[in-house]
Amino acid sequence: MALSIYNSLAREKQIFEPVRPGRVHMYVCGPTVYNDAHLGHGKTYVNFDIIVRYLRYLGFQVLYVQNITDVGHILDSGEDRILKGAQREQMQPMQLVEHYTRRYFADMDRLNVLRPDISPRATGHIPEMLEWIQRLIDGGHAYVADGSVYFDVSSWESYGKLSGRRLEEAQTGTRVQLADDKRAPEDFALWRKAEPEHIMRWNSPWGVGYPGWHIECTVMSTKYLGQPFDIHGGGVENKFPHHESEIAQAEAAHGEGYARYWVHNGMLMIRGEEMHKSLGNFISLEAAFERWDPMAIRFFILQSHYRGPLDLTEESLDAAARGLERLYGTVRAVRRQLESAPAGEASPETLQMLDTARNAFEASMDDDFGTPGAIAALFDLSRATNVQLGTGLTQGDLMAIDGAFKRLAGDVLGVLPDELGESDAPELSRGLIELLIETRRNLRAARAFDLADQVRDGLGALGVQLQDGPEGTSWTIG
RNA sequence: GGCGACGUAGCCAAGUGGAUAAGGCAGGGGUCUGCAAAACCCCCAUCAUCGGUUCGAACCCGAUCGUCGCCUCCA
């Protein structure tokens, strides 16, 4: 079955066909690094991480570019987030940017988000932006006004094709409240004249200034991925005006065909509302990690479809964490049993079971990266495996099952660490736990259940859970 | 006001025209166990409301109610 992707530009799912056979060039709008990353960033970059991972699983050679926005952007209010952040933290702008860039990557690492192949910074591409803007001016799609340069939206007929938004002619004749040199309110800035107090500034043919918000993505994606490239991703809230403007300025300079597939992911909600500092429901990833395992957060994100909104509550995250633990339980049991299993090849039944799971997993992923269905396939495999576990599986069987989990839950979904639980514990702890388990076994044999339970409860209070099975007692740290 | 998305069990969340509406969490009943946990088995929804289209709709169309997003920076 072929991979299909929902293309925002076409408003429908389409069979994915890369520009270059076997290769995928993909760009995703990155963060503005002026503050700590929050759960919303987590959702977005986990969503796109899955796309990259699955494309690689399918055998594509993926080149993944995600920018770092380190230029303060023009706000009509005159504020600039990076400058504000720098003032707040008593840092130079570039120092602030460096600080938060590092923290961003550290957070993403914990969520097991693979790093992009290229993380270009806006400030490193000013010359390319100047060139691009000049090309737009030369082509009659941009104009200079008092040291600033604006894209002339009226010069580009297909403006609005992504967002389905038509320009409101009603405003054209009215007086623009904002002190602007724009000819039309919908025109957007490519280059902005710097006020004297603006620290981040560069020389340009039009005077000292700084780049507009949309131009960096167009310039950097094209520079590293060519034009056209395959996939351009970002949050839905960027569809307009950001992505719409990107398309216009890209195609006005280089002709139709900027990015083939536009992929937008849904927002993360906190108890039904968008996360906002002003709403008091802002949760940084760092804070979330104190309460939940990063893997559980990742798993929670993947249990809903990337395109939909995801409503987060404490209960729903707790529920996801318990579900993930169920999957881990199976993998642990498989690995434990491997230590004492008889040699032998994987049986046809086992291979059949894995085939079924893999087919269901791929069918769901092929349908616009349906991670919820893929996870359901893993739960089905988990149950089937648990049933088989008591039937004398061979080393071949167990290795095949473990391999499937590693591939699907580990490589593709990224929710299965290489090591689970027990082996993480320091050697001394492991020795002590084993010793206590042995003692408890003797107590039980002597039918001294009170003392045996005391040992179990005591370990439980320390976070060590015991499970009695037909082949002895196993333990996990949770 | 304009554009758009959504409303599926106690909760989270798939499914978007066809035979019993995925999966997880929680809950109930069992099996196993000294007990517990884990695991396994069984049970738990007619898809916001109303009206259409169709042999057939949660899935298509219309209306209504409700929630949310974008239209200004935002992942």
Sign of CA dihedral A22, A28, A33, A35: negative
pLDDT tens-digit map of A409-435: 999 999 999 888 666 678 888 889 999
pLDDT (0 to 100) of residue A421: 67
Query: In the structure, how far is the CA atom of residue A273 from the C1' atom of nucleotide B5, in angstroms?
Result: 14
Average pLDDT over residues A218-226: 96
CA-CA distance, A326 to A329, in Å (whole number)? Answer: 5
**Dist CA A199 CA A203 (whole Å):** 13
Which has the higher per-residue pLDDT, A90 or A203? A203
Task: Evaluate if residue A284 carries a pLDDT over 80.
Answer: yes
Which residue gives the smallest C-alpha to C1' distance to B23?
Answer: A376
User: CB < 7 Å to strand B — which of 9-38 in chain A?
Assistant: 29-32, 38
**Nucleic strand B under 7 Å from the C-beta of A267:** yes
Chain segment A324-361, per-residue pLDDT in tens: 999 999 999 999 899 889 999 999 999 999 999 999 99
From the alpha carbon of A214, which nucleotide's C1' atom is closest? B73
Region A314-323: mean pLDDT is: 92
Task: State residue A363's pLDDT score.
Answer: 93
- How large is the ipTM? 0.94
Contact (Cβ atoms closer than 8 angstroms) between residue A179 and residue A163: no
Q: A453: Cβ under 7 Å from strand B? A: yes
DSSP string, A147-187: TEEEE-GGG-TTTTTTTTPPP-GGGTTSPPSS----SSTT-
* pLDDT-derived band at A79, boundaries 50, 70, 90: low
> What is the band of A195 on the pLDDT scale with cuts at 50, 70, 90?
confident
A74 pLDDT more than 70: no
Does residue A333 contact residue A389 with C-beta atoms inside 8 Å? yes
Is the confidence at residue A235, as pLDDT, over 80?
Answer: yes
Write out the DSSP string of A105-147.
HHHHHHTTPPPPSB--BGGGGHHHHHHHHHHHHHTTSEEEETT
Any strand B atom closer than 7 Å to A164 CB: yes
Cα A218 to Cα A8, A184, A226, A270, A327, distances in angstroms: 18, 22, 10, 32, 42
| Cβ A45 vs Cβ A113: under 8 Å | yes
CB A25 within 8 Å of CB A226? yes
User: For A81-90, A105-114, A246-255, A293-302, which range has the lowest pLDDT when averaged over its residues?
Assistant: A81-90
Domain map (residue ranges) of chain A: 4-265, 288-418, 422-477
Asked if A289 contacts A171 with a C-beta cutoff of 8 angstroms, the reply is no
Question: What's at A55, amino acid-wise?
Answer: L
Instruction: Check whether A55 has a pLDDT greater than 80.
Output: yes
As a rounded value in angstroms, the CA-to-C1' distance for A38 and B71 is: 25
Confidence at residue A183, expressed as pLDDT on a 0 to 100 scale: 85
What are A207's two structure tokens?
């005077």
Per-residue pLDDT tens over the stretch A456-465: 999 988 888 8
**In this predicted structure, what is the pLDDT of residue A424?**
65
Residue A375 CB lies within 7 Å of the nucleic strand B: yes
Lookup result for tokens 């039918």:
A447
Nucleotide B18 C1' to residue A363 CA (A): 21
**Which A residues 273-312 have CB within 7 Å of strand B?**
273-276, 303-305, 308-311
Q: Is the CB of A465 under 7 A from strand B?
A: yes
Q: Is the CB of A466 under 7 A from strand B?
A: yes
Q: Is the peptide bond before A426 cis (omega within 30 degrees of 0)?
A: no
pLDDT given for residue A317 in this prediction: 93
- What span, in angstroms and rounded, lies between the C-alpha atoms of A469 and A441? 12
pLDDT band at A171; cut points 50, 70, 90: very low
Residues 349-368 of A with CB under 7 A from strand B: 364, 367-368
Mean pLDDT in residue range A382-397: 93
pLDDT at residue A144, rounded to an integer: 94
Residue A170 pLDDT greater than 60, yes or no: no
CATH of A288-418, one of 3.30.70.3040, 3.40.605.10, 3.20.20.70, 1.10.730.10: 1.10.730.10
CATH assignment, A4-265: 3.40.50.620
In angstroms, the CA of A167 and the C1' of B1 are apart by 14
pLDDT band at A287, cuts 50/70/90? very high
For residue A134, what pLDDT is reported? 96
Nucleotide nearest to A444 (CA to C1'): B34
**Parallel, antiparallel, or unpaired: how do β-strands A472-477 and A4-7 relate?**
unpaired
Calculate mean pLDDT across residues A44-64.
97
Average model confidence (pLDDT) for chain A? Answer: 89
| A388 CB-to-strand B distance under 7 Å | no
Residues 90-149 of A with CB under 7 A from strand B: none
* Strand B: positions under 7 A of a protein C-beta atom: 2-6, 11-15, 22-26, 33-41, 67-75
Amino acid A1: pLDDT? 63
A465 CA, B38 C1': Å apart:
10
Q: Is the CB of A478 under 7 A from strand B?
A: no
The 10 Å CB-count burial string (b at 16+, else e) for A136-160 is: bbeeebbbbeeebbbbbbebbeebb
Torsion of CA A460, A464, A466, A472, to 10 degrees: -140
Give the mean model confidence (pLDDT) for residues A255-264.
Answer: 90
Of the candidates A308, A233, A219, A214, which has an alpha carbon nearest to the alpha carbon of residue A8?
Answer: A233
